[in-house]
Chains A and B, each alone.
Chain A
């Protein structure tokens, strides 16, 4: 069976279109207004910098655009390593009043981590924030 050059081009086009459908469509979907933008999240770690293999407490403080504390949110915290393929760590954030939420978690290795905060705000709007944690120390 011989495949003409024109047919080969068609096959390639189909391949590229399939890949575009799989991955490219995400661009359009993410252009919606993000209610997270109105929420300011500040964070603190104890100990800081954290040590791999040792428990630490992550405290988040949520304020709205008028600097009022955000209460009644349901939030989840997930820690992912900068390198793909490493097991993530996760925890539920407990509300401590005055817009403060905290969770205990443990990084499993040294290096740079990213904390992903996801959940729902009191009105049901979703919240998504990303916090980069550089230089988690190796346990000595």
Chain B
């Protein structure tokens, strides 16, 4: 089904200014986060900077991807800011070839997750405000120097997270009719549409992330900006519904990406995405502090940074390496024909874990959203009292929070179980494709791994929550 042909939603999505309108909403929210973060009360639960980012932005982002698509990249206010900056400074440089790929963006993603834990950003409004300002500054700086959407494609850590998560989205932008593309002489979807009169002027920009629509497969690197929809002179781009995760089985060449099975960086991003979901959720439980303190005692330190760094190293490198390595060795050993190398086996199945990782992100961020969705109401009421000295929206209702944590637990379990079911389906499909003679034998180690991840997810979600912001050792 093409969403763009639906009444109301389709009309709205086709409206040329839908993106700037959404971006303005998030720009307003970002301005509120920065101003309240810098000048408002420095208590996490009483400040818009920490409430909006920790509860609403993260939760709505992942739920939007699960329900519709990569809407938060669509509405990214940093692209609006850099578009404004590009009216003054025009980028001339191309992003260096040696910096292309996902390594840099992935490293920044890990750095953001690490900083969130180390500096307890959920409880520091001013630090959150500076992080948002820094993010805007970096995005603008990169994109006034380098052409296209260099920041989005190569650097943005949230973007890399969204790209991987949106492989699980139920929609995808793709061409409606390939025959129309075969007769197209202008390729406006990637080059942009120019005026017919001299001097030629760009009227609609094409895909800034280098995705040529006739060869585009899936949502990787797609910000759902809808530029291609507006640029195509043949009205040949559709926002189609699809089976979430099925694109991870596509082995053909993708525009802007290449072949997924040859992209070690993208496969590594898939693993970081998956295991970071577990690490990020684990970090908010009581056992996490016991582990962190044991690690600190083991290496003889009293500061959090080295202990946390070691926990991250174990959770994102050592553990995934051991688990996937063991599964890959078993599958490789079972395959007497040696159809694939050990590394190729590892990469092929790495993508199969994305659904269970997505389920864990959904369970974790959905928990915070459902249990704290109304927390923004008293914070806004309080901000108005502070700003105008009058309770314009009434006295702050601090008791307004959200659902009881216990009531959300079944929903969380449902999320990770659905994710695990998706991973099982992908493992089976990969095995049937790669090892048609004995797919069940090839699948066995990976199914055990998915079961292990599901069990771990259920254990983490059942742990008592413990959020620390000022104390570490002792």
Contacts and interface: CB of A to CB of B under 8 A. Distances in A.
B285 to A, nearest CB: 9
Given A23-B32, A112-B123, A138-B464, A86 B372 contact: yes
B399 A88 contact: yes
Interface in A1-39: 1, 3, 5, 8-9, 11-12, 15-16, 18-27, 29-30
A81 to B, nearest CB: 6
Contact of B84 (A9, A85, A110): A9
B43 A130 contact: yes
A22 B45 contact: no
A65 B387 CA distance: 31
A58 interface: no
A124 to B, nearest CB: 18
A111 B36 contact: no
B258 interface: no
B464 A52 contact: yes
A15 B28 contact: yes
Given A78-B398, A82-B468, A86-B45, A22 B383 contact: yes
Contact of A112 (B84, B373, B469): B469
Interface stretch (B49-57, B235-243, B341-349, B428-436): B49-57
Contacts, number: 143
Interface string A69-103: 00000000010111111111000000000000000
Contacts of A5: 84, 87
B311 interface: no
Nearest to B27: A15
Given A23-B32, A111-B466, A81 B387 contact: no
A86 B122 CA distance: 12
Interface in B52-86: 54-55, 84
A1 to B, nearest CB: 8
B120 interface: yes
Given A19-B28, A27-B39, A138 B468 contact: no
A22 B375 contact: no
A interface SS class: mixed
Interface residues of B, number: 52
Contact of B387 (A9, A26, A82, A114): A26
Given A26-B39, A85-B401, A110 B371 contact: no
A85 B40 CA distance: 17
Contacts of B44: 82-84
Contact of B35 (A19, A84, A85, A139): A19
B388 A85 contact: no
B interface SS class: helix
Contact of B368 (A11, A22, A85): A85
A57 B48 CA distance: 31
Interface residues of A, number: 44
A88 B445 CA distance: 46
A134 interface: yes
Contacts of B47: 84
Nearest to B42: A130
Contacts of B402: 85
A85 B375 contact: yes
Contacts of B388: 25
B32 A22 contact: yes
Contacts of B3: none
B31 interface: yes
A41 interface: no
A132 B43 CA distance: 10
A89 B77 CA distance: 36
Contacts of A11: 24
Contacts of A110: 286, 464-466
A56 interface: no
Contacts of A8: 84
B84 A82 contact: no
Given A30-B386, A138-B286, A84 B468 contact: no
Interface in B274-311: 284, 286
A87 B286 CA distance: 18
Interface string A112-125: 10101000000000
30 contacts: A12-B84, A15-B24, A15-B27, A15-B28, A18-B28, A22-B35, A22-B387, A23-B32, A23-B383, A23-B387, A24-B387, A26-B387, A27-B39, A80-B43, A81-B45, A82-B468, A82-B469, A83-B284, A83-B469, A84-B45, A84-B55, A85-B368, A85-B401, A85-B402, A110-B286, A110-B464, A111-B467, A134-B468, A134-B471, A135-B468
Interface of B: 17, 24, 27-28, 31-32, 35-36, 39-41, 43-48, 50-51, 54-55, 84, 87, 120, 122-123, 284, 286, 368, 371-373, 375, 380, 383-384, 386-389, 398-399, 401-402, 464-471
Given A21-B387, A23-B40, 19 more contacts: A18-B28, A19-B32, A23-B36, A25-B387, A25-B388, A26-B40, A26-B386, A80-B46, A84-B51, A84-B55, A85-B372, A85-B375, A85-B401, A85-B402, A109-B466, A109-B467, A110-B464, A111-B468, A138-B464
Interface of A: 1, 3, 5, 8-9, 11-12, 15-16, 18-27, 29-30, 52, 78, 80-88, 109-112, 114, 116, 130, 132, 134-135, 138-139
